[in-house]
Amino acid sequence: MNYQQWLVQASSALNQANPQENGKTDALVLLQFATGKSRTQILAFDETEIEEKVRSNLTALLDRRLKGEPIAYILGEKEFWSLSLNVAESTLIPRPDTEILVEQALRIAKEKLQKNPPHFRLLDLGTGTGAIALALASELTRICEKQATELTIIGVDVIPEAVALAKSNAEKNQLNVLFFQSQWLEQVEGTFDLIVSNPPYIDENDEHLSQGDVRFEPLSALVATEQGYGDLRHIIEQAPAYLNEGGALLLEHGWQQGEKVRSIFAKNHWEKIATLRDYGDNERVTYGFWKSYEI
Ligand SMILES: C[S@@+](CC[C@H](N)C(=O)[O-])C[C@H]1O[C@@H](n2cnc3c(N)ncnc32)[C@H](O)[C@@H]1O
């Protein structure tokens, strides 16, 4: 069987199994992964015969995809903010919508860095693959080096395997972020200029948990108590003690949670509270500033 024949067969099987996904794209990605060839090489030389060893590997990969396993878990990596990140079943696969949070965190960080502070400290709670912390490190390291601001970026997660994964991603991308295990802020010391988090925020009874990619992702990364608001509320309540004066907290949340999240911020005396929308025009990230430790 050659590339072209395999692509036709695999695309058709995938389209049948997951009609809402693009079977052709997935088939091509799997073939690239198994052969180590580029998309162009495969399409330009599609009459190439597939070796028996590669073929049996492809059958196993296709089988996993046919069962609905996310492509990112099958390949073991995912692109986020132009970084290539290792992914694993211990945590969430980074989503493009999370880049909204990174963009806003960068905007706020750059504003604060204009004042040439001696230190700049940033904390990512529930870091998972390290996606947010590493994306921010990739942008802020050079700026801070240029102006001699000492940059500290910390990422924590309660799942040890996620911490190990984040560390592997720091190494892979040669970025300097300190990752360690902590139940939210419990093991964290010191204060920060910026705290960011994409915590679990799905209600345990949400029907979407049994659909699509999330079926394969761990509940520890998805589900929170209090109809999904438990972790968001906990972080909003605890963060002030860990923020420098004028520091900001940015939280990703569900598309229907903006109003309630703003009200939790307001109830806890945060200032300049605002919500940003994602690429689908849904409320996705809410943030607030903390003036001083005294209320
Ligand atoms: C929605 S995922 C986000 C992962 C990553 N930050 C991202 O945006 O792709 C939530 C993460 O929070 C972690 N988490 C859940 N409960 C936690 C807790 N009590 N303390 C620290 N991290 C927690 C999960 O293990 C998971 O990695």
What is the residue range of 31's domain?
3-68
- Based on the fold, state whether residues 94 and 173 are members of the same structural domain: yes
- Based on the fold, state whether residues 51 and 82 are members of the same structural domain: no
- Based on the fold, state whether residues 166 and 283 are members of the same structural domain: yes
User: Is 192 inside a domain boundary?
Assistant: yes
User: Is 260 inside a domain boundary?
Assistant: yes
- Based on the fold, state whether residues 176 and 265 are members of the same structural domain: yes
User: Is 145 inside a domain boundary?
Assistant: yes
User: Is 135 inside a domain boundary?
Assistant: yes
As a whole-number percent, the residues of the chain with pLDDT over 90 amount to 95
User: Is 295 inside a domain boundary?
Assistant: no
Paired tokens of 259: 């109003």
Q: Is the dihedral of CA 160, 81, 258, 217 positive or negative?
A: negative
- Based on the fold, state whether residues 192 and 240 are members of the same structural domain: yes
CA distances to 49, 71, 228 from 166, rounded to whole Å, are: 38, 19, 25
Convert 158-169 to b/e letters by CB count within 10 Å (16 or more is b): bbeebbbbbbbb
pLDDT of residue 292: 57
Q: Is residue 159 within 6 Å of ligand 1 at its C-beta?
A: yes
- Based on the fold, state whether residues 90 and 21 are members of the same structural domain: no
Average pLDDT of every residue of the chain: 95
Of the listed ranges 2-6, 8-12, 19-23, 189-193, the least confidently predicted one is 19-23
Tell whether the model's pLDDT for residue 293 goes beyond 50: no
Which CATH number does the domain housing residue 178 bear?
A: 3.40.50.150
Closest residue by Cα to atom 7, ligand 1, is 94
Angle formed at CA 258 by CA 208 and CA 159, multiple of 5 degrees? 55
Q: Report which secondary-structure segment, H or E, holds 166.
A: helix 160-172
- Based on the fold, state whether residues 86 and 55 are members of the same structural domain: no
- Based on the fold, state whether residues 52 and 95 are members of the same structural domain: no
pLDDT of residue 18: 84
CA distances to 14, 39, 71 from 25, rounded to whole Å, are: 10, 10, 11
* 81 assigned binding-site residue: no
Angle formed at CA 91 by CA 88 and CA 94, multiple of 5 degrees? 90
User: Is 73 inside a domain boundary?
Assistant: no
- Based on the fold, state whether residues 97 and 181 are members of the same structural domain: yes
In the reported structure, the alpha carbon of residue 221 is separated from the centroid of ligand 1 by a whole-number distance in angstroms of: 5
pLDDT in tens, 127-148: 999 999 999 999 999 999 999 9
Tell whether the model's pLDDT for residue 49 goes beyond 80: yes
- Based on the fold, state whether residues 14 and 118 are members of the same structural domain: no
What gap in Å lies between CA 240 and CA 195, rounded to an integer?
10
- Based on the fold, state whether residues 149 and 11 are members of the same structural domain: no
- Based on the fold, state whether residues 54 and 188 are members of the same structural domain: no
* 96 assigned binding-site residue: no
- Yes or no: say if 265 and 235 are a contact pair by the CB < 8 Å rule: no
In the reported structure, the alpha carbon of residue 24 is separated from the centroid of ligand 1 by a whole-number distance in angstroms of: 32
pLDDT in tens, 60-90: 999 999 999 999 999 999 999 999 999 999 9
Closest residue by Cα to atom 26, ligand 1, is 221
Tell whether the model's pLDDT for residue 295 goes beyond 80: no
Domains held by the chain: number: 2
In the reported structure, the alpha carbon of residue 198 is separated from the centroid of ligand 1 by a whole-number distance in angstroms of: 7
Choose which residue among 81, 92, 177 to substitute to test ligand 1 binding: the one with the highest number of ligand atoms within 8 A of its C-beta: 92
pLDDT in tens, 196-235: 999 999 999 999 999 888 999 999 999 999 999 999 999 9
pLDDT in tens, 226-272: 999 999 999 999 999 999 999 999 999 999 999 999 999 999 999 99
pLDDT of residue 21: 82
For the CA of 197, the closest atom of ligand 1 is: 6
pLDDT of residue 67: 93
Candidates 98, 73, 95; CA nearest to 165 is 73
In the reported structure, the alpha carbon of residue 237 is separated from the centroid of ligand 1 by a whole-number distance in angstroms of: 17
Which CATH number does the domain housing residue 23 bear?
A: 1.10.8.10
pLDDT of residue 294: 46
What gap in Å lies between CA 71 and CA 12, rounded to an integer?
17
CA distances to 164, 181, 212, 217, 247 from 220, rounded to whole Å, are: 16, 14, 17, 9, 28
**At which of 68, 98, 124 does a domain end?**
68
Give the mean model confidence (pLDDT) for residues 177-182: 98
pLDDT of residue 291: 82
For the CA of 126, the closest atom of ligand 1 is: 12
